[in-house]
Amino acid sequence: MRKILFLFFILFTCYSCEIQYDGETRLVVQGQLVDRNSNPIPNKRVEINNFSDGTYTPSDLISYTKTDSEGKFLMIFPTPKGEDIEIITTLNGYNFDDDYATLNYATGFQNKSITALKKNFKNYKLDLNQVTLYKNDEITQLQIQLNKTSTNKTVTALDVQGILSKDFTDLNYKNENHYLETNFNVVKNQNVRLSYTIADYSDPTKVVTTNHETIIPINSEKVIHLLTY
C-alpha cells in the first residue's frame, strides 16, 4: 500500500511540475553499491531527482529503486528537456523499507549524491560502475586550518590524498574560482598525504611557487591540522 501511495505521489508531482520531458526517449542510470571491502550492499534505496537551472527548484523525484542481492541497480526514466537540467542520483545508504524515524545513522552507511547533466550520458546511459559507501562509524573529519604569517604568501592549491568519503560528486565540477577545500570526510585509521602549493610575492618582478607535502595520521577522532605559511 505504501508503494502504491508513493507511485501516486510521483505521478502527481510530475504532472504538476514545470520541468518538461521528452516522451519519446528514456535515460538509463546503472551501477553497483559496495562497501569498503568491495562486498555488495543489497536492499538500499537509490533515487533519481531532476533539478532545473541549478536552483534546486522546481524538482522532480522521477525514479527510485533498490539494489539487488549483488548491490546492483538500474533505473529507466523519461529524458528531461533542456541541457541544464541536473540529474542527481541519490544513494541513501539505508534499507529500502526502513522507517526513517528508527534509522541508526551512527552504524548505517553514508548518503551519497552524484550530479550529472545529459551530456554525461553515452547512448542515453550513465554507468556509475562501482560506488563505494562507507559506514558512518568508519568516517571522521579532517580540517585544514590555514595559518597565514606573511602578507606576501598565499596558498594557491591544496589536495588531500587517501581514502576519502565524499558525500557529493559533480561530474561537471570546475573550480573556476580556485576555491580551496579545507574540510574533508576521511576514513579512520589511515595516513593521508596533504599536498599544497605556496606562492611567494615578495619579489615584485616574479612569483616564486613551491610545492609541499606532509603526512597526516588519521585515527578515530576529528583531526585539525595547522598549515602555517
For residue 118, the SS3 value is: helix
* C-alpha to C-alpha distance for 33 and 67, rounded to whole angstroms: 8
**Rounded Cα distance, 94 and 110, in Å:** 8
Kindly list the structural domains of the chain, giving each domain's residue range(s) and its CATH number in brackets, ordered by start: 2-132 (2.60.40.10), 137-228 (no CATH)
Using the structure block, give the residue that is written with the C-alpha cell 546511459.
Answer: 125
Q: Which residue has the cell 521528452?
A: 22
- Nearest CA to 194 out of 180, 174, 214 is that of 214
Task: Show pLDDT as tens, one digit a residue, over the chain (229 residues).
Answer: 444 444 444 444 444 446 788 888 999 999 999 999 999 999 999 999 988 755 555 578 889 999 999 999 999 999 988 888 899 999 987 777 776 666 666 668 999 999 999 999 999 999 999 999 999 999 999 999 999 999 999 999 999 999 999 999 999 988 777 789 999 999 999 999 999 999 999 999 999 999 999 999 999 999 999 999 9
8 to 11, 12, 47, 224: CA distances (angstroms): 5, 6, 16, 48
- Under DSSP, is residue 4 helix (H, G, I), strand (E, B) or coil? helix
Q: What is the pLDDT of residue 57?
A: 59
**pTM for this prediction:** 0.82
